[in-house]
Amino acid sequence: MASLLYTTFTVLMAILSSSIVCFAFPGFSFGWGGGAGGDGDGSFGNGQGYPGLFPEFYSFSCPQANDIVMSVLESVIAKEPRMAASLLRLHFHDCFVQGCDASVLLDDNVMFASEKNSGPNSNSIRGFEVIDEIKSKLEEACPQTVSCADILALAARGSTVLVSIQIFIYR
């Protein structure tokens, strides 16, 4: 349990430090779709004209998005603390192959075998029901606004934050 908490804390610190670098040095985005600044050519990210995900991304289109995500995570993680690490791992597996596109959430169909049930992921990654619950509540509040890929990112970030807060409180 201690090594899981340490790993989660280490990942959180890496995420936070990369965000701090992006805000401290506008225009420096690690190539992550724009981050806190542009490329100096009037566009965001890699000259594609759109910003990447940042904490205030949904502040106008779905201002309650973060509160909805955090409320679901708080109740789920209170019942099953290991789910925080599972959601971070789910996000990792989504981003690992060809970017963070929520493809790990797709089910098998006649056209293709999904990442969800592929050999390395089968009976290994979990947390799909938590993502489904978050998506359902977000669709009630802000229909067709928050992408599934962003839900995975928000859930990974939020669960890591919640576990990190618990580490500091109980030390």
How far is it, in rounded angstroms, from Cα 105 to Cα 90? 9
Is 99 part of any known ligand binding site? yes
Helix axes 65-79, 83-96, angle to 10 degrees: 120
Q: Is 67 known as a binding-site position?
A: no
Annotation-wise, does 132 bind a ligand?
no
- Is 107 annotated as belonging to a binding site? no
Angle formed at CA 149 by CA 29 and CA 67, multiple of 5 degrees = 90
Assess whether 93 carries a catalytic annotation.
yes
What 3-state DSSP class applies to 44? strand
What is the signed CA dihedral for 37, 58, 8, 149, rounded to 10 degrees? -90
Q: Is 97 annotated as a binding residue?
A: yes
Residue tagged active-site, from 93, 116, 135, 157: 93
Which tokens is 5 given?
A: 């908490």
Residue 74 is labelled as binding a ligand: no
| Angle in degrees, 0-180, between the axes of helices 148-169 and 2-24, rounded to the nearest 10 | 120
Tell me the binding residues: 94, 97, 99, 101, 103, 115
List active site positions.
Answer: 93
Tell me the binding residues for Ca(2+): 94, 97, 99, 101, 103, 115
